[in-house]
Amino acid sequence: MNNMTRDTAAVFQKLGENLQRIADEDGGDSERAAELLEVISEVVPHINRSSIEDFYRYYTTRSLYADLGAETYQTTYNDLMKQYGVLLTSDTFGCPSCSLNQSVTFEQSKAALLRHADNSFSSVNTAGAPLPIWNPITGYLLDPEGIKPGELGPHGGSGIDLSGGPTEGVPLQSGEYFRLGQNLFAENKPLNPFDDVVLYDPVVAWFMAGVLPFTGHCSNEPMPADSKNSALFVALVKSSSPKWCTKHNVPNETKSTKQDFARMWFDLLTNSESFLNITIGESDPYVWTTGEGCGYSLAGQRPQYSNQTKDTILRNASMELYYLDEGVVLGGALDRNILIGGTSPAIGDYNKSNPLKTVRLVQNIYLALVPGDIVEKVKNCNRPLGPINDLTVEEAEAILFRFKKKFEETWSAGWDDPNSGEVQMVGFFDDTGADGSTARMLQEITLSSGTLMVISFIIIILFSVLFLASCDVIQSRVLVTMVGVGLVILSFFAAIGLAILVGIKINVTIGWTLPFIIIGLGVDDMYIISLALKNHGGTSLRDFTSVMREVTLPVTMTSMVNFCMFAVMNLSDIPAAYKTAQAAMLCIAFLWLAVILSFPAYCYLDMKRQDARRVDVFFCFTSKKSKAEAADSSQPSFGAIYEKVYKPLMISGGWVQNTFVIFVWIAAVGLFSAGIYGSIYRNIGLGLEDFFSTESQTGMWAMYRTKYLGSWNIRLNWGALDYGVPLTQLKMMKQFEGVVSSNFVSEIDTEQLWIAAFALWTTRQCSENFVKREASQRECGQDFGCVGTWEKNTLGLRLKNIDSKTCYPRKGGVCRYTQDMHPDDLVDLALQGKYDQYSDEESTWCPVFNAKNNENLQICIERWRDYAGGVGSLLVEPNTATESTTCPGEFYDNDTIVFPIPISSGPLMFGINMQTHDDTISLIQETRSSCDKDDEMHCWMSGIPFDYWEQYLTLDTLLYEVFGISIAVGFCVATAFLFGKITLEHEHSFRDTLLGSVGGALLIILTCVLSTVTVIGMSSLFGVSLTAFSVMSFVLSVGFVVEYSVHIIHRFITAPMKYESARKRVEYSMSFLFLPTFMAFVSSTIGVVCLAFTEFEFNKIYFFRPLMIVMFVTYFFGCFFLPALLSLIELDFLKLGRYSTTPSPSVTEQVSEGVQQSMFRDDVNGVP
């Protein structure tokens, strides 16, 4: 446009000089030249870029009229002549000697429409009617003497001839009109202003028409006729010639310029059926094309997909695909990787000449407003049912939630019905703004645990009652057991309630892990107290306090271990993990309070019931049995499990025990080896296809997306930078282009990055003045004093695709070669000392804006946003946009931007080719590397892959940290516990106590390592990927195995010194600990088993499988491998028991009869 403005001014300057020369000469043209010179002097002040753009718009419209309307004109002309050609030349219709073409070619049709546009303005203008009977010169019915075949056209015209006329025998075409002036100036030859310029130059004709007065009217008059034509002929003409003049046109006899009427005529033309035939609100803009996209033609039709054959649909989908603008504004062709999946040939290999043969998936992407934007949107006066001014954000969120749900249901209706069509429709909504598919699914899964939770509670109660019941209705502890389990359940829900109050939302991990694990842990502690009181015997207050004095420390120790295990999970930055851990910590604390403070009170009441000889459960009744009879009937019925099963296999000796111990060692080695293998070759990550069931439409969507498409939306972001510095702008472009260069990111033009678009707007490459919001307001940066410049492309940025011989689906970069620069920009660069025409001939340049200060940058960016519609996710001050005076609720994009800019974002992009977790990890690593290369200016990526999958980059590290810290915590707690308990006995030196405590703790840690590695590897072999959920299970494995091993090691170390051999010490330990450890294992496993009955496959894989492995592996290593190992260890520093000589019954007698209270203090210490 700048070149055109400069050349136009030069044409009129040259024209004025020649007219002045002729006017000064004596000749016949001097008077005419003087008159024209006076007109030229009025024209020159109006020549500026805005007026040139105005001319170019109408000149292009003239050309488009011919290009777009020729086909219709040709068809209707030929059809008319085929039906009425003979009649039109008969005596009846008054033109027997007319020599009319019976048909016209496409080129003749274009010529007819161009003549129509260039013809004289008339009070009657036909809308491109193809009647071949009008003299384009006179505008009246044809005189036989004036007929020239092929030179007919519709009646009327714009009144300005923009044809360009003959120049060296070649008529000027659209866009070539400046060639006239350039060619004439190329040689310093005299210019004939009348023949070479005034008569033929369209620019001169247009601008001269702008100062020449013209009086006209447009009154919808009937078509003219004369006496040579019959009334029938005139009637036919009137009925067949639609007219353009309307009540909205210039009033009759209004004085204006010829250019004003030409403008009106062209404006009528663009709204007519003979042009694009578009009616706003009615016409389908998808049916025609502008020719801007590769493979698209001007006024062509868009590919059709409805009611087409399979081959036609595939062929149409094989060409470049665009938004409606065909890539002019919205960033070039669409990346097929986000639209089509499962193709043959593969994406990148197919095109129109090698079309698609198979497509498995087509994706539609819909962008919805967030609640805050909905509130503002419905205030608009153009809303069909009127504006809504009192909608709140909360209400908008509820509406958006219902909209998403209904949209998804409607879209996917019949997805599982094979008779509902050839295409299976499945869909997914993200959780932005309001809960979408994932949130609703997780909510459904989380809340669906209630039934299985109740079942597990009932089974645990029955199991506990079964083990603690007795045939003696006095010694039986059914009621207190039920109360104990009830207290555990109540304390769990109390802790969950507190978690909710402090802001911890119930998630799927809390819903499907804690009820089934925490309840088991709490019941285990209840077993400790119940069994201790039962074995101790007695019903006095002294008996009660004696037992509680012994059990409080071990119960506290196990609770502390579990609390610490969950506390370690706060190292994770994954909300589902650390929020669950925090809720679990509250549960452990509440369970400890319930078991230590509340449950013992009920136990003491139950002891008083026994002392009063009242019946268990039905305590209003008393028993008549004597205490001796009751003692005979109250022997524990489950002690036989140890005597008949565990002891022969693990302790008694003989070939059975030896064989089984060998099996235990082989099993331990095998399990640990399998654990190592599974740990090395484990899979990492969890996708949506793992969350959703394939029996749901969303599950099918997730499966298809992963298999065929693998795309997610992503964004590039920056923080508080010095955005006004050119180097910062270039680095932003470099980082953006680095991200786009990844094979896992869809292609997008650099111009879509806000800082690049803004920089271009401040240069002479700005195009905003072509289509302006306000005719009188220029809209480029330099029009507001925001003058940008160019810097050499030292960072290797992409170049813009400019080659006119090649059609590029996208623009590429914003930098350009010297030869593509604006000449004035090169002049400016030369003056600045940055450009040399010889050395910089092959250089490339990139646009930048060097802001004077923050205020200058703020003003320019706000102007850019206001007039050019620029965006960049920039923060703006609330309620600062200007509201439209004509439409309340509609605002201009002129909000006050927060300065200095604290954060900005790039355009919406898409990650692609993410069929596997490794692909997604590669996307994250490749894109992050572009942000991390510059130590001085960092950026960060956002979007679903980064918000969700980025956890898997550090999940290995998290696992090692959690595992290491858990082991360390277990070691410290175990050492402290052993040292404290042994020290209280005051029978061994500090050195022996410390050495024994550390040695015992190391054995505990060995068991933990074996168990945890096995759990991790076995989980992997059973199809459990490494995720935050599985890490939670692995942490629990440490807690469970510590709970078993601490008490076994403690009882082994503190066994009376009379048990000299390791095997005897193991027998002493397990004879008491087998039953409570077995009950702990069974009660915890009951809760986990219930998870197997969930209908969600996700729960089975990521909760049931690893937790079930935890239960069996930790019990095996704690209660089988560890005793087998201890049987082989004959180390004196691990023998720190009492030297008491008090006679005691056999270990079996202690377990079966629960007597010898003097030994109980040793026994109870080892209860897990």
pLDDT tens for 543-559 read 898 888 878 877 887 78
Query: Which pLDDT tens digit goes with each residue over 1049-1066?
Result: 888 988 888 888 899 999
Strands (E), 826-870: 844-848
Cα(1037)–Cα(1043) distance, rounded to whole angstroms? Answer: 10
Cα(759)–Cα(727) distance, rounded to whole angstroms? Answer: 12
Give residue 1148's pLDDT band: very low, low, confident or very high (50, 70, 90): very low
799 and 816 in contact (C-beta within 8 Å)?
Answer: yes
Which pLDDT belongs to residue 528?
Answer: 78
**Residue predicted with more confidence, 279 or 1162:** 279
3-class state of residue 816 by DSSP: strand
pLDDT at 26 over 50: yes
DSSP state of 815: B
Cα(152)–Cα(99) distance, rounded to whole angstroms? Answer: 11
Structural tokens at position 843? 């250089």
pLDDT at 685 over 60: yes
pLDDT at 666 over 90: yes
Which pLDDT belongs to residue 502?
Answer: 92
pLDDT at 1160 over 50: no
Cα(569)–Cα(592) distance, rounded to whole angstroms? Answer: 20
CA end-to-end distance (rounded Å), the chain: 87
CA distances to 77, 337, 409, 655 from 212, rounded to whole Å, are: 36, 58, 65, 123
Cα(1038)–Cα(1110) distance, rounded to whole angstroms? Answer: 9
CA distances to 125, 262, 275, 827 from 266, rounded to whole Å, are: 11, 6, 10, 38
pLDDT at 141 over 70: no
> For 912-944, what is the HEC assignment?
CCCCCHHHHHHHHHHHHHHHHCCCCCCEEEEEH
Bridge partner list, 171 = 166
Bridge partner list, 1015 = none
pLDDT at 1150 over 70: no
Of 188-192, 220-224, 523-527, 636-640, where does the model show the most confidence?
A: 523-527
Which pLDDT belongs to residue 706?
Answer: 85
Residue found by looking up tokens 């994406």 in the block: 347
* C-beta neighbour count of 193 within 10 angstroms: 25
Cα(193)–Cα(16) distance, rounded to whole angstroms? Answer: 9
Once rounded to an integer, what is the mean pLDDT over residues 967-975? 83
DSSP H helical segments within 432-477, as ranges?
437-447, 450-468
Give residue 834's pLDDT band: very low, low, confident or very high (50, 70, 90): very high
**Residue predicted with more confidence, 919 or 846:** 846
pLDDT at 410 over 90: yes
Structural tokens at position 1101? 């894989």
Cα(987)–Cα(997) distance, rounded to whole angstroms? Answer: 14
Query: Which pLDDT tens digit goes with each residue over 696-755?
Result: 888 899 888 888 888 888 999 999 999 999 999 999 999 999 999 999 998 899 999 999
Cα(546)–Cα(916) distance, rounded to whole angstroms? Answer: 61
Task: List the one residue out of 874, 641, 856, 660 whose CA is nearest residue 755.
Answer: 874
Instruction: For the chain, give the mean pLDDT.
Output: 80
Query: Which pLDDT tens digit goes with each residue over 1081-1140?
Result: 888 888 888 888 887 788 888 888 999 999 999 999 999 999 999 999 988 888 887 775
Which pLDDT belongs to residue 175?
Answer: 34
Query: Which pLDDT tens digit goes with each residue over 351-404?
Result: 888 999 999 999 888 888 889 889 988 888 888 888 898 999 999 999 999 999
CA 1064 to chain centre: 64
Once rounded to an integer, what is the mean pLDDT over residues 1054-1079? 87
943 and 714 in contact (C-beta within 8 Å)?
Answer: yes
CA distances to 978, 1067, 1069 from 981, rounded to whole Å, are: 5, 21, 16
1054 and 1000 in contact (C-beta within 8 Å)?
Answer: no
Find the range with the poorest average confidence among 588-597, 637-646, 784-793, 861-870. 637-646
Which pLDDT belongs to residue 195?
Answer: 52
Which pLDDT belongs to residue 1116?
Answer: 95
Q: Cα angle at 575 between 956 and 1039, to 5 degrees? A: 60
Determine what percent of the chain is predicted with pLDDT higher than 70: 81
* C-beta neighbour count of 783 within 10 angstroms: 17
Beta-carbon contacts of residue 180 (< 8 Å; ≥ 6 apart): 11, 164, 167, 172, 196, 197, 200, 201
Which pLDDT belongs to residue 851?
Answer: 92
pLDDT at 1155 over 50: no
**Burial class of residue 184 (count of CB atoms within 10 Å of its CB; 0-12, 13-18, 19+):** buried
Of 274-278, 776-780, 1053-1057, where does the model show the most confidence?
A: 1053-1057
Residue found by looking up tokens 């083990």 in the block: 467
Give helix then strand counts, H and E, for the chain: 39, 15
Task: List the one residue out of 519, 688, 505 whose CA is nearest residue 580.
Answer: 505
Cα(487)–Cα(526) distance, rounded to whole angstroms? Answer: 10
Strands (E), 811-945: 816-817, 844-848, 904-905, 909-911, 939-943
824 and 831 in contact (C-beta within 8 Å)?
Answer: no
pLDDT at 199 over 70: no
Beta-carbon contacts of residue 878 (< 8 Å; ≥ 6 apart): none
Bridge partner list, 940 = 717
Task: List the one residue out of 576, 522, 531, 523 whose CA is nearest residue 550.
Answer: 531
pLDDT at 156 over 70: yes
Once rounded to an integer, what is the mean pLDDT over residues 285-301? 73
Of 327-331, 475-479, 825-829, 1135-1139, where does the model show the most confidence?
A: 825-829
pLDDT at 169 over 80: no
151 and 136 in contact (C-beta within 8 Å)?
Answer: yes
Cα-Cα-Cα-Cα torsion 954, 958, 959, 961, nearest 10 degrees, comes to 140
Which pLDDT belongs to residue 198?
Answer: 56
Report residue 357: phi and psi, to 5°.
-110, -30
Of 276-285, 631-640, 923-932, where does the model show the most confidence?
A: 923-932
Of 320-324, 353-357, 865-869, 882-886, where does the model show the most confidence?
A: 353-357
pLDDT at 227 over 50: no
Cα(564)–Cα(1035) distance, rounded to whole angstroms? Answer: 10
Find the range with the poorest average confidence among 4-13, 51-60, 539-548, 626-635. 626-635
pLDDT at 488 over 80: yes
Q: What is the DSSP string of 13-60?
A: HHHHHHHHHHHHS-STTHHHHHHHHHHHHHHGGG-SHHHHHHHHHHHH
Alpha carbons within 13 angstroms on the beta-carbon side of residue 577 total 26
Report residue 1070: phi and psi, to 5°.
-80, -20
Which pLDDT belongs to residue 843?
Answer: 94
Which pLDDT belongs to residue 176?
Answer: 38
Once rounded to an integer, what is the mean pLDDT over residues 1131-1152? 58
pLDDT at 172 over 50: no
In 312-329, which positions are buried (b, 16+ CB within 10 angstroms) versus exposed (e)?
Answer: ebbbbbbbbbbeeebbee
Which pLDDT belongs to residue 179?
Answer: 40
* C-beta neighbour count of 964 within 10 angstroms: 11
The one-letter code for the residue type at 919 is D
pLDDT at 760 over 90: yes
Cα(586)–Cα(9) distance, rounded to whole angstroms? Answer: 82
Cα(398)–Cα(7) distance, rounded to whole angstroms? Answer: 60
Give residue 1003's pLDDT band: very low, low, confident or very high (50, 70, 90): very high
Give residue 822's pLDDT band: very low, low, confident or very high (50, 70, 90): confident
Structural tokens at position 1052? 């082994």
Which pLDDT belongs to residue 818?
Answer: 93
